[in-house]
Amino acid sequence: MENYRVRTDLALEAKESISEEEAGMHGVRVEEYHPQEGDIRVTKVMIDTKNAAKCMGKPMGVYVTMEAAEMVEPDEGYHREISGCLARELQALLPEAEKEQAVLVVGLGNREVTADALGPQVVDNLLVTRHIVREYGRRAYNCEKVNEVSALEPGVMAKTGMETAEIIKGVVKETKPDVVIVVDALAARSTKRLNRTIQITNTGISPGSGVGNHRDAINEEILGIPVIAVGVPTVVDAATIVGDALEKYLEDKQQIYFSELNNMYMTGKDIDAVIKRVSFTISEGINMALCDSVSEE
C-alpha cells in the first residue's frame, strides 16, 4: 500500500491516522468538550509547528470539528442546537468578532452535483445585509451591531474557465471585506462522519484536495485577509470503505484491489435531502454568528 493514500479533509482524522511520535506531539494540541446543546462533541486540533503541519498534511492553524450523530435526521430542534454551537465556534475564530465587519461568504462547489452543492445552497439561505446597510444604515435592522454580509457563488472551473481563487480575489479587491468565510463539501476518511460532522478552520481551504482535484488555495496568504472555512464531509473514498471491510484479509494485496477504486467516491442514498437540511443548518449558524442573536453560554 505504499502508493495508496486515504484522502480526508478533516484534521481530526489526519490526527487519528498518525502516531504521536510521527506528529511530534509538542506541535499538536487537542481539546475535546461537549457543549450544553444536545449530543454534540467538539474537538479542537491546534497545529502549532511546521513539523507537525508537515506530518499531518495540514497547514498550521486551528481546526474545530463538531460531531453530531443525528445531524442527518429531520429534527428541527436538534438542528437549531447545532446552528447555535456552530455560531459560537465561528465567532471564536472570527478576528475582532466584537466589532462591525464586512464579511464575504463564498459558497464553493457545483450546484448540479448534489454531493457538492453544499456551498451554493448555504448561500441561498444567508441573510445578506451589505446592500441594505449601505443604503439605509443600521436602523434598517433592529440590532445593536450589523455586519455587512455579502455572498458569492463562484461556480466551478468547468463552467467559468477561471480558478475559483481568481474570482474571489477579484471580488475581494473590489468590495474590500474584512474577512472571508468559505463553505464547501469535504471528503471524510470514516463513513461514521459522513454528513454528521462540521469542520471550521482559520487556515482557509484548497478546493477539491480531499478528492484529489487540487485547485488554487483560498487562504489569507492569497487574499490578504483572514479566511475561515466551514465544511461538511459529504463523500468518502470508495477504497476506504472496501479497505475497512477487507483489511484483515488483504493486508498484503490492498494495492492491487484498490488501485481502480482510488478515484471513486461514495455518498449516501438520501444525499439530496441531507444537503438541503444541513445547508440550512449551516446558513443559520453563520447568520447567528454575524448578528447579535447568539446568546452567551
What's residue 173's pLDDT?
96
Distance, C-alpha 108 to centroid of its chain: 10
Task: Report the range of poorest mean pLDDT among 2-6, 119-123, 139-143, 275-279.
Answer: 2-6
The position carrying cell 503541519 is: 53
What's residue 110's pLDDT?
92
Q: With bands split at pLDDT 50, 70 and 90, how would you rate the model's confidence at 55?
A: confident
Task: Name the most confidently modeled range: 31-40, 147-156, 266-275.
Answer: 147-156
133 Cβ partners below 8 Å, 6+ apart? 140, 141, 146, 148
pLDDT in tens, 251-290: 555 454 555 555 556 676 788 888 999 999 999 999 999 8
- Three-state secondary-structure class, residue 43: strand
pTM for the model: 0.84
227 Cβ partners below 8 Å, 6+ apart? 179, 180, 181, 182, 202, 203, 204, 205, 218, 219, 220
Contact indicator for 165, 216 with CB cutoff of 8 Å = yes
What's residue 172's pLDDT?
97
The burial class, CB within 10 Å (0-12 / 13-18 / 19+), for 268 is middle
Assess whether pLDDT exceeds 80 at residue 33.
Answer: yes
- Extract the C-alpha cell encoding 286: 453563520
CA distance 296 to 239: 43
CA distance 262 to 7: 9
